[in-house]
Amino acid sequence: MMITLTHYLILAAVLFCIGVFGVVVRRNILIIFMSIELMLSAVNLVFLSFSRYLGTQDGHVWVFMVLTVAAAEAAVGLGIIVALFRNKQTIYVDEVKELKG
């Protein structure tokens, strides 16, 4: 049995949807953030599978860029979480509702 492009795409879709589940259902902001990282990695898997299928390496460069963006996002996002915790003493997004009408 051969592993084809579709196998990798389905795997990436499943992992991406698990990340979506984490973002939608969980209320701990740290776990929401980790789910976002998981979704970014699933997208990287799609990039690399299509690169492998097409025999080019442009996808590898874009994965590089996605990794850089993920690291920058983690640094700034975790800074925001620290600032949020300092001001509100909570990491649960359902307790941050000042702007709720």
Cβ proximity of 64 and 47 under 8 Å? no
59: which 2 tokens? Answer: 């996808």
28: which 2 tokens? Answer: 């701990």
Question: C-beta of 98: minimal distance to other proteins in Å?
Answer: 19
Phi, psi at 56, each rounded to 5°: -105, 170
Site for other proteins in 15-34 (CB under 8 A): 15, 17-22, 24-28, 30-31, 33-34
Q: Which residues bind other proteins (CB under 8 A)?
A: 1-11, 13-15, 17-22, 24-28, 30-31, 33-35, 37-38, 41, 44-45, 48-49, 51-53, 55, 57-58, 60-61, 63-65, 67-76, 78-83, 85-86, 91-92
